[in-house]
Amino acid sequence: MRKKYKCIEVDCKNEVSGKNRRCRHHALILRHKLTSFALKHGKYSKNFKPTYYCIDGCGAKVSEEGNRCYSCSKLGNKNPEYIDGRTNKVHYCLVEGCNAIVKSYGRKCRHHAQLGRKVSDKTKKKQSISKKKLGFTHDKETCPCFICKAYRGETKGENASNWIDGRSFELYPKEFNAELREKIRKRDDYICQNCGMTEEEHIIVLGYNLTIHHIDYNKTNNKESNLITVCSSCNCRANYNRNYWKEYYQEKMEKKCIQQ
């Protein structure tokens, strides 16, 4: 007696001619699936296993379609160490005792990277030719640049651009003491009268109190109307273009006297 076989698909009771076979209906469905897959991927065989690639386009193979590879899954905000586009790891220079921050691990800072670097004769000639074309001869006896002038001693003493009768070497009188300076800072509410920097910020950044500036640049004139509270950077800035800053701070003091 001939044996009867049924389709191997689940819940299908159609009879087939042999063991482990599908009926005609399910065979057509499977064939349609295989042909559509072959047209999509360009390959078709019974033992064919499709290869899937990273969706970020790096070319790495992945196990399933629509996945990312391991390296791409760690990039950007997908990385568990991501903090607003900044990395929480800080890398320092390889040289011991140097605390300069570098871009990545295993690097030297710019200063130590240049130390001991040998330059060939060809590069030296190229550098000299390019400097001559730009007009930089750097002959220490005749070069007009600031570095060569400082080497020759032309920027010291009376030759300095800010030289005025050597008054910077004069000492402050006894009247200009710590009590007077504290009184002026208290009058100005412990704030720089130019940029608005507070004394707390000044101590945090530079480690000392706000400075007191003489408006008319006369160290012996220690009247309260001639003294004003400024930060160190504004005090240094006032050494240039003195006529402008003298008028500027005088107007400030006049307005303050009117308000009081």
Q: Which of 63, 80, 97 is the last residue of a domain?
A: 80
Assess whether 195 and 244 both reside in one domain: yes
Give the percent of the chain with pLDDT over 90.
Answer: 7
Confidence label for 228 from pLDDT (cuts 50, 70 and 90): very high
Domain that holds residue 231: 167-259
Assess whether 240 and 197 both reside in one domain: yes
Is residue 78 pLDDT above 70, yes or no? no
The pLDDT of 184-211, averaged and rounded, is 88
Tell whether 133 is covered by a domain: no
The pLDDT of 170-196, averaged and rounded, is 88
Per-residue CA distances from 131 to 126, 139, 149 (Å): 9, 12, 18
Tell whether 205 is covered by a domain: yes
Total of domains in the chain:
4
pLDDT of residue 91: 80
Tell whether 145 is covered by a domain: no
Confidence label for 230 from pLDDT (cuts 50, 70 and 90): very high
Is residue 185 pLDDT above 80, yes or no? yes
Assess whether 61 and 102 both reside in one domain: no
Tens of pLDDT along 79-133?
655 666 555 567 888 888 788 888 777 788 878 887 777 878 888 888 777 766 6
Tell whether 63 is covered by a domain: yes
Is residue 227 pLDDT above 80, yes or no? yes
Assess whether 250 and 187 both reside in one domain: yes
Assess whether 171 and 248 both reside in one domain: yes
Better-predicted residue by pLDDT, 42 or 130: 130
pLDDT of residue 207: 86
Tens of pLDDT along 149-179?
777 888 777 777 777 777 777 788 888 898 9
